[in-house]
Amino acid sequence: MQHGKYRFIVGFLIVPLAFYAIFVIWPFIQSIYYSFTNWTGLSPQFSVTGLDNYRRMMNDPTFWASFRHSVIYVLVLPVVVLAIALFLSFMLNVGGRRKKGAAVAGVQGSSFYKIVYFFPQVLSIAIVALLFQFLYNPDSGALNAFLDAIGLGGVQPEWLGDPGLALWCVMAVLMWSQVGFFVVLFSAGMASIPKDFYEAALLDGASRATTFFRITLPLLWDTVQSGWVYMGVLSLGAESFAVTQIMTVGPGGPADSTNVLSLYVYQKAFHSGQAGYATAIGVALLLVTLVFAAGVLRMGRRERLEF
């Protein structure tokens, strides 16, 4: 009977595991192999060059600028996005005025607010990037027009053309586009927390801030930790690539001020025909992602709370 059970389980697992190995594991292995070659990406002819690509990478100032920007993304974006999303979710679910017969409640119209916050997720990231590119336009953009309307016409930043501002402008777009997803995610988690916990805490004299740090955050921690890793992967991967590629000139911004590792991989692979070197940069990006995910899981490890 046991042997029949194992055959049944293996029969269900073998096909998805085979697909995973072919379409996920094997491309990773290929990328690592190509990072030790001088492959152009266009010709089947290439040779193994050992660690040449990695030595070149260590002496490449553009790589280090891109690496630094990616690290800023992965350290700043998840923290800011999750903090804003947690605050908004808490207000939507617990921060409203007391209703008749209930000690805690969300703000009025919370369902409508959730739709508004989630709206950027409906839009393609390419559309979002184009909209903000027009918004940041120094000549006809809404931001400089607003500054002019309130009497700050002398303050007309170049925004995406300023090496000191461009990176933060791009990051602001990613924050705006991702907060809504986590608001809905955290709201779903908070809705499952029994209201009795909050009512008991408030009867004991706890403030709203205390209930957040003592009740909401501990019981929602697993969701927050998963969102932290997910947001970090997004900030290192396709989202940062798409926004930077579309919004900034170069691409990579003025003086490479917005270049990130994912975009630098694209530039070397498809613009310069240096696929071998691009895969070496991709391996570095993979290591950064793994270190970030392992660090978050390690720092956030705590005893699981249940209710």
The fold for domain 60-299 equals: MetI-like fold (1.10.3720)
CB 248 within 8 A of CB 258: yes
Q: Inform me whether the pLDDT recorded for 179 exceeds 70.
A: yes
CB 94 within 8 A of CB 164: no
- Local confidence band at 131 (pLDDT 50, 70, 90 cut-offs): very high
Q: Inform me whether the pLDDT recorded for 37 exceeds 90.
A: yes
3-state DSSP of 123-183: CCHHHHHHHHHHHCCCCCCHHHHHHHHCCCCCCCCCHHHCCCCHHHHHHHHHHHHHHHHHH
Please tell me the predicted confidence (pLDDT) of residue 66.
93
Where is average pLDDT lowest: 104-118, 232-246, 257-271? Answer: 104-118
CB 181 within 8 A of CB 82: no
Across 145-167, average pLDDT:
86
How many whole angstroms separate alpha carbon 273 and alpha carbon 32? 17
CA triplet 38, 42, 48: central angle to 5 degrees?
20
Please tell me the predicted confidence (pLDDT) of residue 78.
92
Please tell me the predicted confidence (pLDDT) of residue 278.
94
How many whole angstroms separate alpha carbon 130 and alpha carbon 170? 11
Please tell me the predicted confidence (pLDDT) of residue 307.
53
Torsion of CA 10, 16, 22, 26, to 10 degrees: -80
Q: Inform me whether the pLDDT recorded for 98 exceeds 70.
A: no
Across 181-207, average pLDDT:
85
Task: Report helix, strand or coil for 48.
Answer: strand
Summarize pLDDT for 40-57 with one digit per residue, the tens.
888 888 899 989 999 999
Across 4-28, average pLDDT:
84
Contacts of 4 (CB under 8 A, 6+ apart): none
- Local confidence band at 99 (pLDDT 50, 70, 90 cut-offs): low
Q: Inform me whether the pLDDT recorded for 303 exceeds 70.
A: no
Please tell me the predicted confidence (pLDDT) of residue 100.
57
Mean pLDDT across the chain: 86
Q: Inform me whether the pLDDT recorded for 103 exceeds 70.
A: no
- Amino acid identity, residue 127? I
Q: Inform me whether the pLDDT recorded for 305 exceeds 60.
A: no
For residue 86, how many C-alpha atoms fall within 13 Å in the half-sphere facing its CB? 21
Q: Where are the domains of the chain?
A: 60-299
- Report residue 105 as tokens: 């409640």
Across 139-148, average pLDDT:
87
pLDDT > 90: percent of the chain: 41
